[in-house]
Structure 1
Amino acid sequence: MKTVITFGTFDVLHIGHINILQRAKSQGDRLIVGISSDALNFAKKNRYPVYPEQERKAIIASIGCVDEVFIEESLELKAEYIKKYAAHTLVMGNDWEGKFDNYKTICEVVYLPRTENISTTQIITQIRKYA
């Protein structure tokens, strides 16, 4: 059985999230998703997610192609997460192209194209504009 792992915040779920998760699952038999903790998201983006981590975890877990979800506490632990879940493949969006190549010694690394013209930041900006 080939296990695939991916990571993200997955805040304000949109079609881009669904597309990347379905395409990630197509890379193997089992899909494990690491959801950025609220604290990690704040450290990365200087803002907390709209939805708290436990709600984002439940939302992503409810998607049919996702087999397991965990909270990612630290970017520095990616290698440990890959090993813990015995992942054969790490899948990330191509906006991260090259940034995860250092994990090629422990698993295959695949960068998939993002869905064009959609992002969580764009959606949040649009909502604020009309609020």
Structure 2
Amino acid sequence: MKKYKVGYTQGVYDMFHVGHLNLLQNAKEYCDYLIVGVNTDSLVQDYKKKSPVVSEQDRLTIVSNIRCVDKAILTATLDKIKIHKEIDFDVIFIGDDWKGNPRWETTKIELKKIGVDLVFLPYTQGVSSTLMRCQEKDAVYE
């Protein structure tokens, strides 16, 4: 039996890569049912000030078809308390590259008040959609 019944994680999942897959597979190891929030294009534009390369519908389709994902949803907020009111989950998973971040430390305290744990999972070093975008811009095509 796994430690948690329902787990939740959220991200952009733009240009889906092995780091995304590792996070999702690791999260599923902790819970019976994994729900993944895929950030909407407008949410990404609001907080990252850039548009995803892959559209929200395509990103949702990709994430929905990952074997370890039980349900994928589009989400238009970063507010985990608000999301919890809509989706009942026991735990949120996030990459450990966010450990110590003031926003996540505050979120951890707020989630604990409603009985939700925050678990930091290993971040896959050397791969990110942002890095892939930069490499794409620097690529020379013949």
TM class, shorter-chain normalised? over 0.9
The AA in structure 2 aligned to 1:49 is P
Secondary structure of the 2:14 match is coil
Moved over 3 A (4+): none
Counterpart pick for 2:81 among 79, 82, 89: 79
Give percent identity, aligned residues only: 35
RMSD: 1.3
Q: Residue 21 of structure 1: CA displacement? A: 0.2
Between the aligned partners of 1:47 and 1:80, the Cα distance in structure 2 is 24
The AA in structure 2 aligned to 1:71 is L
Q: How does 1:98-113 map to 2 (within 5 A)?
A: 98=100, 99=104, 100-101=107-108, 102-106=110-114, 107-113=116-122
Q: Is the 8 A contact 1:33 1:68 kept in 2?
A: yes
Q: Residue 104 of structure 1: CA displacement? A: 1.8
Between the aligned partners of 1:21 and 1:87, the Cα distance in structure 2 is 15
Counterpart pick for 1:93 among 88, 92, 95: 95
Between the aligned partners of 1:10 and 1:28, the Cα distance in structure 2 is 20
Q: Which residue of 2 aligns with 1:2?
A: 5
Q: Is the 8 A contact 1:5 1:82 kept in 2?
A: no
Of stretches 97-106 and 16-25 in structure 1, the one that deviates more from structure 2 is 97-106
Q: Residue 80 of structure 1: CA displacement? A: 2.5
Q: Residue 74 of structure 1: CA displacement? A: 1.4
Q: Residue 28 of structure 1: CA displacement? A: 0.6
Between the aligned partners of 2:121 and 2:112, the Cα distance in structure 1 is 16
Deviations 1:35-70 (A, max 9, x none): 111011011111100011111000000000001111
Between the aligned partners of 2:38 and 2:7, the Cα distance in structure 1 is 14
Question: What is the count of residue pairs matched by the alignment?
Answer: 130
Q: Give ranges in structure 1 of 5+ residues lacking alignment.
A: none
Q: TM-score, normalised by structure 1?
A: 0.93
Between the aligned partners of 1:14 and 1:34, the Cα distance in structure 2 is 16
Q: Which residue of 2 aligns with 1:13?
A: 16
Of stretches 22-31 and 103-112 in structure 1, the one that deviates more from structure 2 is 103-112
Q: Residue 31 of structure 1: CA displacement? A: 0.4
Between the aligned partners of 1:82 and 1:5, the Cα distance in structure 2 is 9
